[in-house]
Structure 1
Amino acid sequence: MLRRALLHVCLPLLVLACGTADVPAEGGGPPVEVVADASAVLDASPADASLPARDGAPDGPLDASPPRRAEVAFVGSGDGNVRTYAVDSATGALAPKGVTAVGGDPSYLAFDEGRRLAFVVDSTRNRVHAYSVDPSTGTLTKKNDVASGGTGATHVSLVPSGRYLLVAHYTSGQLSVVPVAADGTLAAPSDVVFAGEKAHYAQMDAARRTVFVPCLGANVVARYTLDEGSGALAALAPVGLPAGAGPRHLAFAPSTPFAFVVNELQSSVTSFGYDAATGGLTLIETRSSLPVDFAGANTGAAIFAHPAGRYVYSSNRGHDSIARFVVEPTGRLTLDGHVSTSGRTPRSFTLAGGGRFAYVANQASGTVWGYTFVPANGELVPMGVAALAEGLGAAKFVGTARFVDP
């Protein structure tokens, strides 16, 4: 009470002493960003009162400080293990923390940063596993696992509310919805639908209105709405890609009305105008992700939009590179260079440190390589051995999460 009374007395004096300053408001529309950990963010709205807030209660003590966050990198490998690494917040260097035997093929992970959870999809046994994460040690403790709802489970993501996982199945072409309880345990799928041949990815947009599922074989991006009360999906009209493209993964541009799809078969990136209110996608153009003089075999793999909003990156398996695109104000793309992945078959690629660092998982080489981001031109500069992880078997996934410290 004394502290609050003193504040009431002192604040007017501070205003008189310091005057006032105009603080510019942030421009732009509502954010529509989807990045390596956007699906891990919990919303603490009244509708989600059963779930813990990501950053603690908003009405905490007067002198409460923001929670500390520890960034952890995860690598899923074909040897059945998930490895964890501490990410140095200043340099991006990786320090080994732990190894968890998941079994099967842990080919993709999703994260809930506020509840310190990791979800692992096993593509050979078609299971989804839930783990609690100790950020200080990198230890994963098993909660439970459930059947994924299809065959060839290849991708998993968490919807923004934290209530459901979305699982795409490459072999059966199905999309499943897996409920997540408040304690992080999983229940049997609440809905399973056929999305399209070779469904490769599933993600709900940040607007919480639309689920997008690139289907490589059907050459479309399937779209759905999700009833978060029942966990049921309702189909919207799919969006077609140029003939022979083979859409694999999708990323949203931060705070701009664009979405980008990496095409596996065509080794290209397609840009779309994105309407957050309707989930609509309007094709703008498609650009090759390869140098004009490259004639070898190649397939596209991963794609991410940088938080700065001006750059999009995609990985090339064959050319073994990361392509850098500049995003024009119209949503058109300019291929602006490549950087070697220093390994073969870069299947997975992620950003970290708020976009200051990047890591790529080279599946055939069993390595993860790190880069620093150059704000002036978007270039990715290799870090060297400080961020090199080796002996990983088939390194199929790399991702990072910034967990709230206990």
Structure 2
Amino acid sequence: MVYSKYQGVRSVFREIIMLGLACTTLAFSSCTTTTSGNANDSDVVTRSAGNTSRVYVGTYAEPDNESIFLYNLNAETGALTRMLAVKAGANPSYLALDAQQKHLYAVNETTNYEGTNSGAVSAFAVNQQTGGLTILNKVPSMGGAPCHISVDEANKVVLVANYVGGNVAAFPVQEDGKLGEAAAVQQHQGVGPNKKRQETPHAHYIGPGPDNKYAFAVDLGTDQILGYKLQRNGKVLAPVTPAVTFAAAPGAGPRHMVFHPNGRFAFVLNELNSTMTALAYNSENGTFSEVQSVATVPADFKENNQPAAVKISPDGKFLYGSNRGHNSIVVFAIDKNTGKLTLVQHESTGGDWPRDFTIDLTGNVLLVANERSNNIVSFKIDRETGKLTNTGYEVEVHKPTCLKVVAAL
């Protein structure tokens, strides 16, 4: 049974419906002993030696299947070792952790939760020794198909973007890591020129700004970035004035954004017109101005392409974006003074439909989650040029949708 009820809302979900949703199972020929169980299990695993970090994998999965997985990543070689898996409910398609790595939060990307037109948000305690997860609680996301989640830098608020609901919501984090009911919900308004994809608002991202004073929501359906003040008292999300902090090109379909480490620039990946937009950030009033927009695919590529994820190298020198269709990672060099981008490379992802990717904490390895071809592929990063080289390590995966790297404690 397919655990999705919004066929026709967005093309990606129609394709998922055709392919079927299932849990992720990853395997390396060099894997050590793995542990599986439900979210209440006490998982005991053998820790890998060497320069390692942890990688949590979110997936599209049926309600009763294992759906969040933990791997150790060797940052020197790019090799992954599966450590454990938990049953985290249906479609934990995007993940976030607090700064102390004590709690993990996941959206459950559905359109029906306990009889309401909503998805859900799940909170987990993280075992500091094993990385295992124990479910704490689950609350309604306040809109259908929650697709992005983040935690503010003070670890006080979890922010969620509901794609089908066309809104964003803020959830207070309690002392024990549990989530309270939504403290604020902001409904987006408007449409875009693309009748199939922009017939209504589609919030696709929300995250805090670099100073944690504002939160910014990216809406694919309305071609807008909307700003909110992060407040601790009363309304947690209060719209800034003006509420639209940046208007993208009509039909661009902005999806995700990332801030430069210097806090002066942000970069927005546009799903519907395959562009990357560099923005100058005004931290005083939380607004943006366009610096440059560049294509994410070669000029001679005319087939369907839908960019998905955007990340920046830890040193702020290079910007990366995933192209679903062209099936590549595009690499840009960033001018630290102006924020302008220069194309460096298009590198094949070694699979089909790279929905997400991540860069490890050392800046040495980039991992790509290819949703349709069911694999995660490892790449070495040249820290001088930003270029990617396939390490030869590849993991068989079924519908991976999110990768989160954290330090191995």
How high is the TM-score relative to the length of structure 2?
Answer: 0.78
Look up the SS of the partner of 2:204 in the other structure.
coil
Q: Deviations over 1:137-194 (max 9, x none)?
A: 3321111111111111110000000011000000011110011112111111111111
Answer yes or no: is the 8 Å Cα contact 1:258–1:273 preserved in 2: yes
Corresponding residue for residue 116 of structure 1? 102
Q: Does 1:187 align with 2:195?
A: no
Corresponding residue for residue 197 of structure 2? none
Look up the SS of the partner of 2:395 in the other structure.
coil
Question: Offset of 1:107 from its aligned partner?
Answer: 0.7
Look up the SS of the partner of 2:330 in the other structure.
strand
Answer yes or no: is the 8 Å Cα contact 2:52–2:74 preserved in 1: no
Corresponding residue for residue 79 of structure 1? 61
Which of residues 384, 389, 395 is equivalent to 1:389? 395
Q: Distance in 1 between matches of 2:74 and 2:233?
A: 40
Q: Deviations over 1:245-264 (max 9, x none)?
A: 10000001111511000000
Look up the SS of the partner of 2:178 in the other structure.
coil
Question: Offset of 1:275 from its aligned partner?
Answer: 1.7
Letter paired with 1:163: K
Segment of structure 1 superposing worse, 155-164 or 287-296: 287-296
Q: Name the structure where helix makes up a greater proportion of residues.
A: 1
Corresponding residue for residue 162 of structure 2? 169
Q: Does 1:372 align with 2:380?
A: yes
Q: Distance in 2 between matches of 1:243 and 1:285?
A: 16
Which of residues 168, 171, 176 is equivalent to 1:178? 171
Q: Distance in 2 between matches of 1:367 and 1:220?
A: 32
Which of residues 394, 403, 407 is equivalent to 1:402? 407
Look up the SS of the partner of 2:362 in the other structure.
helix
1:261-272 equivalent positions in 2, closer than 5 A = 261-272=268-279
Question: Offset of 1:135 from its aligned partner?
Answer: 4.8
Letter paired with 1:207: D
Question: Offset of 1:136 from its aligned partner?
Answer: 4.0
Whose Rg is larger? 1
Letter paired with 1:76: G
Q: 1:363 to 1:135 in 2, by over 3 A?
A: farther
Answer yes or no: is the 8 Å Cα contact 1:259–1:273 preserved in 2: yes
| Greater RCO, CA 8 A, separation 6+ | 1
Q: Does 1:150 align with 2:143?
A: yes
Q: Deviations over 1:299-335 (max 9, x none)?
A: 1110012122121110000000000011123222122
Q: Distance in 2 between matches of 1:161 and 1:205?
A: 12
Corresponding residue for residue 234 of structure 1? 238
Corresponding residue for residue 317 of structure 2? 310
Q: Distance in 1 between matches of 2:252 and 2:172?
A: 33
Question: Offset of 1:89 from its aligned partner?
Answer: 4.0
Which of residues 93, 96, 115 is equivalent to 2:79? 93
Question: Offset of 1:102 from its aligned partner?
Answer: 1.3
Look up the SS of the partner of 1:132 in the other structure.
strand
Q: Distance in 2 between matches of 1:260 and 1:296?
A: 24
Q: Distance in 2 between matches of 1:75 and 1:368?
A: 10
Corresponding residue for residue 258 of structure 1? 265
Look up the SS of the partner of 1:304 in the other structure.
strand
Corresponding residue for residue 6 of structure 2? none
Question: Offset of 1:71 from its aligned partner?
Answer: 2.3
Q: Distance in 2 between matches of 1:268 and 1:240?
A: 14
Question: Offset of 1:115 from its aligned partner?
Answer: 4.6
Question: Offset of 1:244 from its aligned partner?
Answer: 1.4
Q: Distance in 2 between matches of 1:354 and 1:183?
A: 30
Look up the SS of the partner of 1:354 in the other structure.
coil
Answer yes or no: is the 8 Å Cα contact 2:147–2:163 preserved in 1: yes
Question: Offset of 1:70 from its aligned partner?
Answer: 6.5
Question: Offset of 1:91 from its aligned partner?
Answer: 2.7
1:266-281 equivalent positions in 2, closer than 5 A = 266-281=273-288
Corresponding residue for residue 33 of structure 1? none
Q: Does 1:247 align with 2:233?
A: no
Answer yes or no: is the 8 Å Cα contact 1:70–1:136 preserved in 2: no
Question: Offset of 1:281 from its aligned partner?
Answer: 0.5
Q: Distance in 2 between matches of 1:100 and 1:244?
A: 39
Corresponding residue for residue 44 of structure 1? none
How high is the TM-score relative to the length of structure 1?
Answer: 0.79
Answer yes or no: is the 8 Å Cα contact 1:112–1:162 preserved in 2: yes
Q: Distance in 1 between matches of 2:102 and 2:365?
A: 22
| Structure 2 unaligned blocks of 5 or more | 1-50, 114-118, 190-200
Letter paired with 1:78: Y
Letter paired with 2:91: D
| Structure 1 unaligned blocks of 5 or more | 1-68
Q: Distance in 2 between matches of 1:256 and 1:177?
A: 23
Corresponding residue for residue 25 of structure 1? none
Q: Distance in 1 between matches of 2:271 and 2:233?
A: 35
